[in-house]
Amino acid sequence: MSQLLPVLLLSLFVILFGSALLFLASRIGAKGKPNSVKEETYECGIPAETSGPTKIPIKFYLTAILFILFDIEIIFMYPWALTYGDFISGGYGIYIFSAMAFFIAVFIFGLFWEVKSKALEWE
């Protein structure tokens, strides 16, 4: 229980502080009649030409997710490459190498799946 106490205190502090900020914002915040231009999607003072939110093609989101996914792969590979020599000297070289080989195989399979499903094509 003594190890859990700091986590509980931090959680309690976050909840209380967040609640206090929301309460203060509701009491002190500006109150006025909303302007029709202020309620537009982009609040710049110029009336919008379209009536609703524009639809962004799913390809943009898919490309962003794939970029993040492969970026995270590189983030995991860099420290592995830096410490691999230490693992070899400690006798864990084969285990660490096989774990990274499996990790890379999963991502290569994912890349082939993306190419096969045409997730990277923009038509």
In a domain, 71, yes or no: yes
Tell me, what's the pLDDT at 50? 64
Going by pLDDT thresholds of 50, 70 and 90, the confidence category of residue 21 is: very high
In a domain, 103, yes or no: yes
| Number of domain units in the chain | 1
Tell me how far apart the alpha carbons of residues 101 and 96 are, in angstroms, rounded to a whole number: 9
Going by pLDDT thresholds of 50, 70 and 90, the confidence category of residue 121 is: confident
Tell me how far apart the alpha carbons of residues 120 and 94 are, in angstroms, rounded to a whole number: 35
In a domain, 73, yes or no: yes
Q: How many CA atoms lie within 13 A of 104 on its CB side?
A: 11
**Contact 93/87 with Cβ under 8 angstroms?**
yes
Q: Which letter does DSSP use for residue 28 in this model?
A: H
Looking at the predicted structure, is the pLDDT value of residue 49 above 90?
no
Looking at the predicted structure, is the pLDDT value of residue 52 above 70?
no
Q: Which tokens go with 20?
A: 């206090």
